[in-house]
Structure 1
Amino acid sequence: MTQQLLPCVEINPSTTPDACVIWLHGLGDSGHGFAPIVPELKLPESMAVKFLFPHAPERPVTINGGMRMRAWYDIKSLDFESRADLEGVKESAAQVEALIEAQIESGIPSERIVLAGFSQGGVIALHLAPRYARKLAGVIALSTYMCEPSLLGSEAKDTNRETPIMMAHGEQDEVVPVFMGNAAFKTLSESGFNATWQTYTMQHNVCIQELNDISAWLQKVLG
């Protein structure tokens, strides 16, 4: 594969990393958006986790009047079934897969890599992980939904069916309504994936309790 790797904000532990979290941002954000959460997670130094926050490519986004911004895919409408542009999702999933493969080549096994995503980033995580041929440590999907859920049954691989998938959503989310996240959770569960579902009293964002729960979850799957 000769494609250039996605540029990332990289936060390394004080010792040689033996695990990695790849965290995908939402529409119009960048890798810088979520990087400040790393100290908030208060992970023990003994865990030696590297964090990568890749920047999505810039592209025109239809619902924003064709304005160019960082986006993992185009959003042509806010319709539940067709919100995510499948071709764009596949393209970004391939770029993120290349990033995972690069971490594996650097010496971090796939079973020590967590794929995380917020909103649009979560769509990519939920598209890639069930179709990925290598075993991952876990998946975090926050305030997000699933692209073309009807395709999951025929395209999913068995490799990550037992992999823990932490799904969380704000009850007052007006950007991605909570029913969309819950529908993705149900689709994963019905397809035999090991997903959990949690809601928080918040909008389309993250909150302190959620970060505390993510920290505990990461310590469990990577500890």
Structure 2
Amino acid sequence: MDDPHQNQPLERSGASLEDATVAMVLVHGRGARARGMLDLAREVRHDDVAYLAPQAQDGSWYPQLFLAPLEANEPNLSSALRAVGDAIETAVDGGVPRERVVLLGFSQGACLATEFAARNARRYGGVVALSGGLIGPAVDRERYEGSMAGTPVFLGCGDRDPHIPVERVHESAAVFDDLEAAVTDRIYRNVGHTVLSDELTVVRQLLEDVVESTA
């Protein structure tokens, strides 16, 4: 299939889009389910936020490692990027402005979230990458252009993560800095591939800031 992730479920929780002031799109990791990301959403729940979680076909957004050549992950990668874009458009069509949509991913989902945001630079509510970074064997800065207009971007990763090189996190942060985002990259010592309570605190504060900006 040329577009394997189309017509997959879009799981939802939290406020309805009609009532929400902020939307969060949550992108799951390899071998996971969208429902699992809604469990994470409960950890950072805010009453004014609608949570949307797209589902990858067979639980994986692309077949190879995120450091593989881009063509090795096609057509799945392009389809996955469209799925993320479609989830954002669902929020926008439901009445949440794009600048109040927060994009969050974990692991493979974090790689996909950063790649989508960098390829589609503009103002968002925020971008959060938990254990992930830009996709490809090397960071090609010519692939990314435009301005994120001060969008808060948080990249968190453990220094013992077996899947995500710390250098790729720093390289990704540099790209977002070039794209005029407000970037924080935080490397946690003696930590592997996981989500930490400190990262959840960052996400809660980010959501609170976006909600308060609408008041």
Q: In the alignment, is residue 197 of structure 1 matched against residue 179 of structure 2?
A: no
Q: In the alignment, is residue 116 of structure 1 matched against residue 104 of structure 2?
A: yes
Where 1:32 maps in the other structure, the secondary structure is helix
Q: Which runs of 5+ in 1 are unaligned?
A: 59-69
Q: For the structure 1 residues 94 and 104, does the alpha-carbon distance in structure 2 shift closer, same or farther, using more than 3 Å as the test? A: same
Structure 1 outlier segments of 4+, above 6 Å: none
Measure the CA separation in 1 of the matches of 2:121 and 2:161. Answer: 33
Aligned to 1:64: none
Cα distance, 1:23 vs structure 2:
0.6
Q: For the structure 1 residues 133 and 210, does the alpha-carbon distance in structure 2 shift closer, same or farther, using more than 3 Å as the test? A: closer
2:25 to 22, 32, 44: 22
Where 1:174 maps in the other structure, the secondary structure is coil
Where 1:169 maps in the other structure, the secondary structure is strand
Aligned to 1:51: 51
Aligned to 1:131: 119
Cα distance, 1:25 vs structure 2:
0.7
Kindly indicate whether the alpha-carbon contact (under 8 Å) linking 2:106 and 2:130 is maintained by their aligned counterparts in 1: yes
Q: In the alignment, is residue 219 of structure 1 matched against residue 208 of structure 2?
A: yes
Alpha-carbon deviations, 1:102-158, whole Å to 9, x = none?
Answer: 211111111110111111111211111123265311111110021135444344222
Aligned to 1:153: 142
TM-score by length of 2: 0.82
Q: For the structure 1 residues 153 and 222, does the alpha-carbon distance in structure 2 shift closer, same or farther, using more than 3 Å as the test? A: farther
Q: Which runs of 5+ in 2 are unaligned?
A: none
Where 1:197 maps in the other structure, the secondary structure is strand
TM-score by length of 1: 0.79
1:102-113 matches, within 5 Å, as 102-113=90-101
Measure the CA separation in 2 of the matches of 1:206 and 1:81. Answer: 24
Kindly indicate whether the alpha-carbon contact (under 8 Å) linking 1:6 and 1:99 is maintained by their aligned counterparts in 2: no
Aligned to 1:32: 35
Q: In the alignment, is residue 8 of structure 1 matched against residue 7 of structure 2?
A: no
Q: For the structure 1 residues 5 and 194, does the alpha-carbon distance in structure 2 shift closer, same or farther, using more than 3 Å as the test? A: farther
Shifted more, 11-20 versus 196-205: the winner is 11-20
Q: Provide the aligned length of Structure 1 versus Structure 2.
A: 204
Cα distance, 1:6 vs structure 2:
3.8
1:74 is matched by which residue type in structure 2?
P
Where 2:195 maps in the other structure, the secondary structure is coil
- Percent identity, aligned pairs only? 26
